Amino acid sequence: MVRVAKEDKDRIRIWSDSPADTEELGVILGGILQPRDLFFLSGELGSGKTLLVRGITAGLYSEELATSPTFALVHRYAGELPLYHLDLYRLSSPEEIEPLALEELLEEEAAMVIEWGEPAKEALPASYMQVEFFRGEDENQRVISFLPYGERYRMINHLLLIKLITLLP
């Protein structure tokens, strides 16, 4: 079961009661993404970031199962819209990010999701979606907060809210 609340003018907060709910949220989000959309995911290890990405790839009709790119740093998933999935957990400075050529990746007709993306924020556009994962009331529940930076991302929140409300019982 997923619950949703609009926190303020921009932020929405979603309660996911299971890993399957988090993945389903990603499927819905995958249906909204457009080329050059940029998402930063933050939250402690095991909080559901990669599960959300797995759902996004399913929502983009990728035949690949998303996995954490912690050691590879970058995975590219083909689908109706290609998706770059990065995990910068092991990197700590903008200098370490430079060889990844993130700006060039963003110029492609693809979307991008970055886990642990703080070191990359200076090198990337100021318009993006910040998604924060928090543990909920029990071990499976997650509270997922979507904070948009830029008009495109406010629109994504609006569309996500509408889709979730129409799907909820």
**CA 73 – CA 161 distance, rounded (Å):** 31
Statement: residue 117 has pLDDT above 90: no
Please give the residue range of the domain that contains residue 55: 20-134
CA 58 remoteness from chain centre: 13
Which segment of 84-93, 124-133, 154-163 scores lowest on mean pLDDT? 84-93
Q: Is residue 13 part of a domain?
A: no
Statement: residue 91 has pLDDT above 80: no
Statement: residue 48 has pLDDT above 90: no
CATH number at residue 36: 3.40.50.300
Q: Is residue 150 part of a domain?
A: no
Q: Is residue 158 part of a domain?
A: no
Q: Is residue 142 part of a domain?
A: no
Q: Six-digit token pair at 108?
A: 């492609």
Domain count, the chain: 1
Mean pLDDT of the region 123-148: 91
How does residue 52 score in pLDDT terms, banded at 50, 70 and 90?
A: very high
Which segment of 32-36, 38-42, 61-65 scores lowest on mean pLDDT? 61-65
Q: Is residue 122 part of a domain?
A: yes
